[in-house]
Structures are given as structure tokens and as C-alpha cells.
A and B are shown apart, each in its own frame.
Chain A
Amino acid sequence: MRFNLNPVRPVIRSGLLALAASLPLAGLVLAVPAAAQRDPAYQAARSAGQVGEKMDGYLGIVSGGDASLRAVVDDLNIKRRANYASRAQAQNATLEEYAFTQGCILISRTQAGEMYQAPDGSWQPRGPGPAQRDPRCP
């Protein structure tokens, strides 16, 4: 990680610029407890809007996306698929049903500035209000 994100430890920086740059990022991470569990490259791409939550319960690359980012996204989507498959079986549901429901909740939990897929298929930045979701979403 580029910046010291631990707010408890006294932050001593040589330049004021570096301190100013680190503050909004620290605030963002504190607001998202799940972000602490995420791979830093994935978290950075998510916050930058390069990666978004799709309606089908998987991650998608919104724009750009070099080979390393695609590899991160593919890896997470493979893990998600395996997770959905086993949980769907336990719930007597299909993989698609489970994944779609997961997508509903993941889209509703996106943070402001993150990207998500709207019901018309377009990528939308999450604003301060609720996300545009499929009418069937809970």
C-alpha cells in the first residue's frame, strides 16, 4: 500500500501534500469494513471505478483494465462462482438464481463512487442515493 492508512499510529510525514493525499483515502477505508479484507489492487480498482458489480453477481471491468487487473477480476469471479455453486446447492436453488440474488445485494452495498451495472446494462457510478436495481431485488 502506498500510504499509511492506520489512523491510530501517529502520522509523521515530510510533506504536507502526502498527508493531505492520504486523509481522504483513510476515511474511505474506515467507512468500508469489508475493504480491509480485499486485495489492495482490487480495492484500488474498485474505488477508481475501473471494476464494477454486475447484475449477474460477478465483477466486470468498466474501462481500461490491463492484464494484471483482468487476472485479479477473473480470479475473484472464479472464486465467486465456486462459492455460489455450493451455496446454491445447499439452498436448493440454481447457480444463476443465487448469483443474481448476490448481485442484488452487492449492488445495493456499493459505496459512493464505485461502479455498478444498472438494469439496462449500462455502468453507473453509485451516487448518494440508492442504486438502480432490478425490480425483483429485495
Chain B
Amino acid sequence: MTAAELTTRARPAHKAAMIRGRSWGPRVLAWPAALAGAGLAGGCITLKAPEEPIVIELNINITQEVIYRLADDVRDNIDENPEIF
């Protein structure tokens, strides 16, 4: 059985020469990264849930002006439809 490829084989995305040629390559940066990793390994990062309940204000867009305009009708509504309140 012969292997068939639809396209021609591409060259690898990374070339070893790119790493070696740079002065600020991973080899230089590896030291502080390793030190930071060692420091973190000793302790734990704890995430605490907030003490206060998270309130999502859904009615933020309702203005006091509108509420005052509707107040009388709302009071009438209770008198007219007491069975649903």
C-alpha cells in the first residue's frame, strides 16, 4: 500500500537554528523562570469566595422619573385587581 498525500510536504515551522542564533533565547530566560517556579512550588495560591453576595443589578436602567410617573397607576392597579396581589 502506498501513502498518498494531497499536498506537498511542508517544512517544519520551527528550525533549530532560530533558537541558537538569538541572544535572548529560551536558554537565557529559563533561569528566572526556573527560580520563580521553585518559589511557587513551596506555597499554595488560595482563591477565596467573596464574603458579600454578588448582586447583579438588572433594573439599573429604570429611572426614578419613570417610577414616579407610574406610581399612581400602580396603586390603582392594586385596587382594581386585588386577587393577583
Contacts and interface: CB of A to CB of B under 8 A. Distances in A.
Interface of A: 34, 37-39, 55-56, 76, 79-80, 83, 87, 91, 93, 96-98, 100-102, 104-106, 109, 120-122, 134, 136-138
Interface in B49-85: 53, 55, 58-59, 62-64, 66-71, 73-75, 77-78, 81-85
Interface of B: 53, 55, 58-59, 62-64, 66-71, 73-75, 77-78, 81-85
Contact of B73 (A56, A91, A120, A122): A91
Given A37-B82, A101-B70, A83 B62 contact: no
Given A100-B62, A136-B63, A136-B64, 20 more contacts: A34-B85, A39-B83, A55-B59, A80-B85, A83-B81, A91-B69, A91-B73, A93-B69, A93-B70, A97-B67, A97-B70, A98-B70, A100-B67, A101-B70, A104-B74, A106-B85, A120-B53, A120-B55, A138-B67, A138-B71
